[in-house]
Structure 1
Amino acid sequence: FTRDEVAELLSQHTAATGQPFGADAVGLVHELSQGHPWLVNALADQMVRDVWDRSVVLLPANVEAAKETIIRERRTHIDSLLARLHEERVQRIITPMLLGERTGHDVLNDDFSYVVGLGIVALRKGRYEIANPIYREVIPRALSFDQQAQLDHDPTRYITANGCLDVGKLLREFQTFWREDGHLAAGGFSYREAGPHLMLMAFLQRVVNSGGQVQREYGLGRGRLDLVVAWHGEQHVIEIKLRRDTMTEARAAKQLAGYLDGLGLTEGYLVLFDLRQGPSWEEKLYENVLEIAGKRVLVLGC
């Protein structure tokens, strides 16, 4: 559906019940679904179920709440999509997307055609990307759900007295967890190469579920995975990257500073997973603060 077609579909509900959809809500339904018919209808249906008072205008917050319900309940369409993620041909495309790398030499054009045909990936402006923001969120959440459910961490310990999210404390405790258990558990993911990324997202999602949201930005050739944590009006950016060499930190911090600038933020977090065999845990686990172009970057090694 185009945006106009989404607006026309939603207007049918308004005509039948008198309950209007705000213009921003209509735009967000189209943005999150990219016009996918099932997603458009699922979002609209959930919104009107959530807000029974037909005199209440449906707003973007209602769209976000409906999206969360659809993802959390893993409706039939979402569940069938997720079952495909464990197919080898799909993994060959999605794994490098999560890592921000390029596909390997074993990936064939038929593999791209296959995931596009499934509707998981779309080709836009010459680039392959996850088909829509809902799929972009649901894929890593689904892949990390089992580990998330097994984490025994009280989310309230990361909330300050004034209700803010202490991201620094959260990431420092993740460092400890990664050394003790996380690096071993990460090997159990079906997407093993993306295990570090998925484990951190599982750790973070468990905390954020108590009152916030995580937006994920990833794709082929980006060089990293970016998380934007929204928490009661706050925004925190966490960049996840694999350490390949001694220059990784400087390059990644510069990337993050540029990303922060685009969001109008002055501070962000860089998590570097060192998978090299040589360094000891004492060398891998560290904390460093960098000032780049007026941005403060807290670097945490794992």
Structure 2
Amino acid sequence: MRVGAKACYPLALSFVRPSTVKMRYFNTEGPIHCTQHYCLPPLTRWDMEEILGLIERQKYFLLHAPRQTGKTSCMIALMEQLNRVGRYQALYVNIETAQTAREEVPRAMRAICGAIGASARGLLGEERLFEWLNQALAEQGADGALSGMLTRWSAAAERPIVLLLDEVDALIGDTLVSLLRQLRTGYTQRPGLPFPQTVMLCSVRDLHDYRIHARSEPAPITGGSAFNIKAKSLRLGDFSPEETQRLLQEHTQETGQAFTPEALTRVWELTQGQPWLVNAIAYRTCFEQPEGRDHRHPISVAMIDAAKESMIVERVTHLDQLADKLREERVRRVIEPMLAGETLDSVPLDDRDYLVDLGLLRRAQGGGLEVANPIYREVLPRMLASGPQDSLPQSAPIWLDAQGRLDPERLLKAFLGFWRQHGEPLLRSAPYAEIAPHLVLMAFLHRVVNGGGSLEREYAIGAGRMDLCLRYGSVTLGIELKVWRDGRPDPITEGLTQLDGYLNGLGLDTGWLVIFDRRAGQPPIEARSRVEEASSPAGRPIRVIRA
């Protein structure tokens, strides 16, 4: 099921726009407020029949999605709708404050129960939860404080309770086990003992993927075993192309500033509907760029591309958080072979699912894994190449001619000189050893395009290659990267055939095939690096760089 990513808070269903309200804007921080932010009607993007059916049948279930896709906004909207109808007493609670307690269960349970009590007091006007918490602590201790408090609340409530707990995956170890098992215990004791009718847990990952390392357990346990009462896992979806366009056109309706049809399409192409990215690109374009702030000026593709580039260069928080994940070993096990063009046969399914849950990857409709959107596809190798790039020696742009145009022959000579002199130490600075040559070459090419060009990448999982397209002024250069490893034949024949297909897509008559020789026992880089001339199967002249 696809569930919507943005909701309105605190007036989830109210779209009245008083004339006294200041101009709205695209939001990238926290829940959506429809009086302040452009937004989509939230509950129309939920399968409300299914959700209300789960609540009616007294089920406990899970909502999961990558960060900054609108989970909190959706949960708040659901809470307000349920309370407005009046059949249930619904409460949204963020429990991440308990994260600082780590595995100190007494302290963590007080934090969780305190967060529930504070939310009940602030949102429902219910003052008694702290009294019930103290009673539960006195009678049942920390391991029963949550279930005891919820039992007392459920017994006193006039309507069935629906509890929406956010940031569950902020908890670890014994604290997470205690939370899940107290909820499970209360669930299984119904209807003899009163307990919330429905509990929704919200997190980044699906609960069955959790591997909980608790001090009290002899071996890691799964979230599924600790919370085997879960009826369903719902995943929050990204915006569709139509929803992306509708959100952008809210700005046009309010200000009169139009997006060109090409710009609307470009936002979708770059973001694939990822809610934070859609809002962030639109905000930068419409409210930060000088042209964009003049609402008489239509939004063009060039303005969208400039906003995208500035986000990447500035390493905005959302992208920086994703890049930080690249340090995790289980992320490396997936991303490294993807960038190298290798298959994922030996990568555990749990690792692949983890990256899908994080939102870094997605499963394509035709099968296979791919990076979730073009922005992430550009960010990942850029971040990995940042170490080698920062280590590059200073050099003049000798790849440019007297008129400032890129000269491919000068670029080739400059790369060979750079590679022979600095290749070995820079390879050691790259974070992913298997694709270290790729990262060093990309670092060098980024130095080139920083003068006014662009570098595009295509991954070919299972094909053993990475394709690069360097654009600088009127020059477009197609480059294919291959690695020659121990026990494999020279990849030149396969590479020339593959490069033909890539160049055909770019409309180019020539290109480079770069073969990094990573076999054991080879001469030093400065001795083995050379250029050969070759012809592709389609008759294209190809420069083969042996490195």
- Fold-level match, TM-score > 0.5? yes
Matches within 5 A, 1:84-233: 84-103=325-344, 105=346, 107-124=347-364, 125-154=366-395, 156-233=397-474
Taking the aligned partners of 2:344 and 2:328, their CA distance within structure 1 comes to 16
- Residue aligning to 1:29: 267
Say if 2:392 and 2:444, in contact at 8 Å, map to a contact too: yes
Taking the aligned partners of 1:6 and 1:233, their CA distance within structure 2 comes to 32
Say if 2:531 and 2:543, in contact at 8 Å, map to a contact too: yes
Unaligned runs of 5+ in 2: 1-238
Local SS of the residue matching 1:269: strand
2:530 is the alignment partner of 1:286? yes
Taking the aligned partners of 1:285 and 1:6, their CA distance within structure 2 comes to 48
- Percent identity between matched residues is 43
> How much does 1:166 deviate?
2.0
Taking the aligned partners of 1:242 and 1:168, their CA distance within structure 2 comes to 23
- Aligned residue pair count: 301
Counterpart code for 1:7: Q
- State the Cα deviation string for residues 151-210 of structure 1 (Å, max 9, x = none): 124353211234321233223322232232222221222211111000000010011011
Choose the corresponding residue for 2:310, options 44, 48, 69.
Answer: 69
- Residue aligning to 2:542: 297
Choose the corresponding residue for 2:258, options 15, 20, 40.
Answer: 20
Cα root mean square deviation, aligned: 1.6
Say if 1:218 and 1:224, in contact at 8 Å, map to a contact too: yes
- Residue aligning to 1:256: 499
Counterpart code for 1:116: V
Which has the higher mean CA deviation after the structures are superposed, 152-161 or 288-297?
152-161
Local SS of the residue matching 2:257: coil
**Normalising to structure 2: TM-score of the pair?**
0.53
Say if 1:43 and 1:66, in contact at 8 Å, map to a contact too: yes
Counterpart code for 1:158: W
Q: State the 4+ residue runs in structure 1 displaced beyond 6 angstroms.
A: none
1:149–1:218 Cα change, 3 Å? same
> How much does 1:246 deviate?
4.8
Local SS of the residue matching 1:157: coil
Counterpart code for 1:94: I
Counterpart code for 1:10: L
Counterpart code for 1:109: L
More helix by share: 1
Taking the aligned partners of 1:168 and 1:137, their CA distance within structure 2 comes to 26
Taking the aligned partners of 2:475 and 2:421, their CA distance within structure 1 comes to 30
Unaligned runs of 5+ in 1: none
**Normalising to structure 1: TM-score of the pair?**
0.95
